[in-house]
Structure 1
Amino acid sequence: MSPDKRPDFSNVKSGSGTTEPSRPDFSNVQSGASSTEQITGGGGGTGGMAERSYTVVQGDTLSHIAKAHYGKPGKWHAIFDANRDQIDDPDKIFPGQVLKIPALDLDKDGDADWRS
């Protein structure tokens, strides 16, 4: 190349890019919370009545828990049936377990009959 001739870069364009994929836009996402009573209700043909949860403490039995929630210790089997995924033996529950306490309509009026 002669000293008079300089390279012509007039058609060169600059810019930058990335090989990283674009990230999703979550700017329109809204958060919120709802009660577990709204989420878990409706089981057992109880007209949408909700269930509660209960954390087992030392000395608890299913009968004790049933009496506290329903006023009837004999309703322990409802708690046992609702928790078969984590209880194999109704006599073996452990502190720290979180049990589902299903809504029961003991007087058949369509409303859950909670004692507490």
Structure 2
Amino acid sequence: MNHPDKPADFSRVGSRADSTAETADFSGVSGRVDTTAERVDTPQTYTVERGDTLSHIAKRFYGKAGEWNAIFEANRDQLSDPDRIQPGQVLVIPTRERQD
């Protein structure tokens, strides 16, 4: 009989697992995922603030100031000179992968 204040003694308990199964070969298995979801790459917009430059905006969105030309090209309808952006202008920021 076990005493209620004495912890159980598991010192003689052991375990063992035997298997005759072979290692599964998954080398010929391929996978594919189908989805009905649409991929949406919606460009963002940014309202120019005093002191902004296209390089500054590119650094903020893309992590690289040198990507400013992508923003300039996406906004050719309202920008004729990349050095003349004005506070209050709403610029389209094309979707790109950010590279920090």
| TM-score (normalizing by structure 1) | 0.50
Work out whether residues 46 and 91 of structure 2, in 8 Å CA contact, stay in contact via their aligned partners in 1: yes
Q: Are 1:102 and 2:94 an aligned pair? A: yes
Count of residues in correspondence between the two structures: 62
1:83 and 2:75 are equivalent in the alignment: yes
Q: Does the 8 Å contact 2:58/2:64 carry over to 1? A: yes
- 1:104 CA displacement: 1.1
| Structure 1 residues 49 and 86, CA gap change in structure 2 (3 angstroms) | same
What is the CA distance between 1:49 and its match in structure 2? 1.5
Where 2:68 maps in the other structure, the secondary structure is: helix
Which ranges in structure 2 are unaligned for 5 or more consecutive residues?
1-38
Contact 1:103 1:114 in 2 (8 A): no
Spell out, residue by residue over 1:32-86, the C-alpha distance to the aligned partner (whole angstroms, 9 max, x if none). Answer: xxxxxxxxxxxxxxx6422000000000000000000000000000000000000
Q: CA distance change for structure 1 residues 65 and 83 in 2, over 3 Å: closer, same or farther?
A: same
Q: Distance in 2 between matches of 1:76 and 1:100?
A: 12
Distance 1:83 1:114, change over 3 A: farther
